[in-house]
């Protein structure tokens, strides 16, 4: 924490980015941190390779997030928030760093498996969201938390705890939420924006996905599949798969929920696999066996191959973990 604060004090131009395909924690942390640093007189550029998905355009000042670093100039400091490594921010950012445009890179993250080569890392796997770490950082620096910052940081918590439902929800999470609501975040407004503002195409996609729901291991494992033909038929986008994992997860008795999502590959099929654990199974262990990572309760990886082959391998590992 101290090293990060020193780095901020020494810097004038600061770039803030997060991971590709950003979620509420990624963008809420990006914006909350940046708006806070602006209160300290810093010049801030917000950047995300994939920009802001439609669902998150309600985040205050999200219109400021740039999708390109072209002509961005030089920075004293860059933050990669909610990133297990700087590579999670995408190729453009990595090349931008390699080209010497940034003096120092800081990672702020709450993921368990972090193995990065940033100059400074501010990690707390005990935090429900990266936004909680950002909040603590801003408070430590005595930054005034205004309504815009509060809304962005509150969204990170709601987003990453599934509205205070996941096991990462701690007394501190609730205390932070309480304070952020006092600072102007509106729980009903943000919940409606996050949970009751689905694009129609997402529900069309769900209609194709639901029939793929299958259970195994005596209902302890449930999975769904989202392939490219479904995307095309529903007119859906990648971001519309957000939350689909909750379908298998919601079933009584399910300990491990899995979602297989087909990625744009050139030639052979590539599957992005998300895992959620409702019981004692550490799904990060499963994801790591495929070169992925995450938390005990939520993890992911990418595997190439036909769906049949990929499923077979994944379910074999899950079976071992359940045993």
Which residues would be at the binding site for its own copies (CB under 8 A)?
A: 158, 161-167, 169-175, 177-179, 181-182, 186-188, 191-192, 195-200, 203-204, 206-207, 210-211, 213, 215, 219, 222, 247, 249-253, 278
Length of the chain: 323
For 227, residues 6+ apart whose C-beta sits below 8 A from its C-beta are: 262, 307
The answer to whether 163 and 157 have CB atoms below 8 angstroms apart is: no
Report, in Å, the least distance between residue 179 CB and its own copies. Answer: 7
Report, in Å, the least distance between residue 132 CB and its own copies. Answer: 13
Nearer to its own copies, 99 or 207 (CB): 207
Angle at 78 between CA 59 and CA 263, to 5 degrees: 65
Report, in Å, the least distance between residue 17 CB and its own copies. Answer: 27
Distance CA 137, CA 120 (A): 14
Report, in Å, the least distance between residue 163 CB and its own copies. Answer: 5
Nearer to its own copies, 144 or 196 (CB): 196
Nearer to its own copies, 87 or 216 (CB): 216
Nearer to its own copies, 174 or 315 (CB): 174
For 188, residues 6+ apart whose C-beta sits below 8 A from its C-beta are: none
The answer to whether 161 and 129 have CB atoms below 8 angstroms apart is: yes
Report, in Å, the least distance between residue 209 CB and its own copies. Answer: 9
Distance CA 228, CA 238 (A): 10
Nearer to its own copies, 144 or 280 (CB): 280
Query: What b-and-e string marks burial along 34-69, b requiring 16 or more CB atoms within 10 Å of the CB?
Result: bbbbeeeebebbbbbbbbbbebbebbbbbeebeeeb
């Amino acid at each position: 924490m101290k090293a990060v604060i020193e780095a901020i004090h020494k810097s004038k131009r600061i770039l803030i980015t997060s991971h590709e395909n950003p979620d509420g924690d990624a963008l809420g942390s990006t914006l909350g941190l940046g708006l806070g640093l602006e209160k300290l007189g810093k010049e801030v550029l917000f950047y995300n390779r994939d920009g802001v998905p439609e669902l998150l355009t309600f985040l205050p000042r999200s219109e400021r997030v740039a999708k390109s670093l072209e002509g961005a100039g030089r920075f004293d400091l860059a933050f990669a928030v909610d990133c297990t490594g700087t590579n999670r921010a995408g190729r453009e950012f990595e090349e931008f760093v390699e080209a010497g445009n940034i003096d120092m890179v800081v990672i702020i993250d709450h993921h368990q498996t972090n193995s990065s080569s940033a100059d400074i890392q501010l990690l707390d796997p005990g935090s429900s969201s990266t936004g909680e770490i950002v909040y603590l950082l801003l408070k430590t620096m005595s930054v005034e938390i205004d309504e815009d910052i509060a809304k962005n940081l509150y969204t990170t918590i709601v987003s990453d705890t599934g509205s205070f439902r996941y096991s990462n929800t701690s007394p501190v999470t609730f205390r932070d939420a309480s304070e952020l609501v006092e600072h102007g975040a509106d729980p009903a407004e943000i919940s409606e924006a996050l949970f009751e503002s689905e694009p129609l195409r997402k529900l069309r996609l769900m209609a194709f996905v639901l029939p793929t729901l299958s259970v195994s291991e005596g209902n302890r494992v449930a999975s769904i599949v989202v392939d490219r033909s479904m995307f095309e038929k529903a007119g859906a986008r990648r971001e519309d798969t957000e939350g689909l994992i909750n379908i298998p997860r919601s079933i009584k008795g399910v300990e491990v929920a899995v979602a297989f999502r087909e990625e744009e590959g050139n030639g052979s099929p590539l599957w992005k696999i998300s895992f959620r654990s409702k019981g004692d199974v550490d799904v990060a262990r499963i994801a790591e066996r495929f070169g992925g990572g995450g938390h005990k309760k939520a993890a992911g990886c990418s595997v190439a191959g036909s769906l049949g082959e990929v499923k077979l391998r994944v379910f074999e590992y899950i079976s071992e973990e359940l045993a």
